[in-house]
Amino acid sequence: MSKILILSASPGRDRVIDENIKEELVKRGHEVTVSPCVRGGRQAFVDIQPDVVLLPPIKNPNARDTAEYAKYCGCGVISRHTEASCDWTDYKAMAPMEKQEIMGPVPYALDAELVWGPDEADIMNRRGLPWKTQSVGSFATDIYFKENWKSGFKGRDLFLQQFGLDTSKKTMLWATCWGFADTGPDLRVDHMEEYKGEREGRDKWMGAMNFLCAKYGSTWNILARIHPSEEMDEYKMKLDPRIKVYKDSSAPEALANCDLLIHAGSTMAVESHFAGVPAIQFCDIHQLYAKSWFTRKSPMSCVSPSVTNPDELDKMINTVELGKSNASPEALENLRLGRFGEMDGKASFRAAEVIDKIQGKFKLRWPRAWRNYDSEGAKKQVEDFVEQKGCSHCGEMFYMKKSIGGEMACPWCGIRLIFTGKPQ
């Protein structure tokens, strides 16, 4: 038996998947804990002292350092990719920088790497690294193969009542996907242009939601499930008050309690097929990016019937058959063979088979280096946020945060005074 820590990239979005993997690992005799990765992951590591750690994909220095320290403490380390990435057709069309994003923008070391589709596993294994990248299939669709899969969630009435929605009405779910729209200027990098198109796309979406609310507000509930990386303030400020926005449930719970899904090329289109919920694609997020491999039509953009303006969307809502999937069989098969891998309800089982074989034994060790990260995972240099000061009374030197101003007390003599610089 091993103590296994699953660090979740997005607890709300990934809760169902994390619990499915946990269930499979517990069956194999392991002691398993699930914890948020960004908020509390390092504390959980110290508290649990796991033998094996399951991490989100390693895409930045903060994640790389977490994996590095876990291995330093003797843990087995596995990375689970949280989304389907690309197929060979996508990869061959990418510019070198975009290929590097797939391969890993920062160097890292693991014991195993779990991805969805066979193409991505094949691509990443071309790196020739010591560990193997393995395709285990679509984690997101596992739950829909469980008998009475809806029973683990709130019933429809309770779900709708928490938002003050009318339980007698049909519910239209808008799954937003504008994850870069609220990215702050200090977190952007030179080649990151996504946020520009996503802000435009989001504005178009909010306009369409208000248009449909004015027309269908008496017969439909309109509910927006906000992407984990988006802020809710702009939605609340610009949307009709009858439209409710939230971000604290998983996709399966949302699909279990709605009648129609509106998306912009989301993986939820695939999930809605298994949930028996029709879906309409409004706009295509994949066409908003500056990346070269999005210049062709993405397989994700072919799953649902697609419209480009509110009038077309209005007409399609009146023709769709509720209670039945309208996903394209050809698009689903394309995804099964490429990006998603098998969609048979056994991805968590296959992942657990890999994790079960990873060996590790936690040993507490003093960190080799101190690195400071802010809450967004951006590394800061010490001189960026502290400065040396001198007490004008006793002459002793010390450091203080640049952000602190006003009246301070000298840590040496305790005389309270305002520091204006080093003593002469």
pLDDT single digits (tens) 170-181: 999 999 887 666
Sign of CA dihedral 225, 251, 138, 37: positive
Same fold, 3-138+348-372 and 153-328: yes
Strands 379-380 and 372-373: what pairing? antiparallel
d(CA 384, CA 401): 9
What is the average pLDDT across 333-362? 96
Task: Provide the residue ranges of all domains of the chain, joining segments of one domain with +.
Answer: 3-138+348-372, 153-328, 381-418
Give the chain's length: 424
- The pTM for the full model equals 0.79
Residue 188 has pLDDT above 50, yes or no: no
Q: Averaged over 115-123, what is the pLDDT?
A: 95
- Please give the full DSSP string across 170-199, using - where no structure is assigned: EEEEEE---TTTT--GGG--TT--HHHHHH
Domain 153-328 listed as CATH 3.40.50.2000: yes
Q: Are 278 and 294 in contact (CB under 8 A)?
A: no
Q: Between β-strands 170-175 and 133-135, what pairing exists: parallel, antiparallel or unpaired?
A: unpaired
- State residue 190's pLDDT score: 44
Predicted pLDDT of residue 344: 97
pLDDT tens-digit series, residues 209-218:
999 999 999 9
**Segment 347-352 mean pLDDT:** 98
Contacts of 151 (CB under 8 A, 6+ apart): none
Which two tokens mark 93?
């069309």
At 305 the pLDDT is 95
- Say which CATH superfamily domain 3-138+348-372 falls into: Response regulator (3.40.50.2300)
Position 332 scores a pLDDT of 96
Nearest 5°: the CA angle 174, 178, 180 is 165
Q: Contact 225/174 with Cβ under 8 angstroms? A: yes
* Structure token digits, residue 171: 């519910």
Look at residue 189 in the predicted model and tell me its pLDDT: 45
Is the confidence at residue 385, as pLDDT, over 60?
Answer: no
CA distance 76 to 258: 41
- pLDDT above 70 for 9: yes
Lowest mean pLDDT among 222-236, 281-295, 307-321, 378-392: 378-392
Percent of the chain whose pLDDT exceeds 70 = 81
Average pLDDT of the chain?
A: 85
340-379 core/surface letters (b: 16 or more CB in 10 A; e: else):
bbbbebbbbbbbbebbbebebebeeeeeeeeeebeeebee
| pLDDT above 70 (res 378) | no
* Sheet strands (E) in 20-86: 31-36, 52-55, 76-80
pLDDT confidence of residue 150: 94
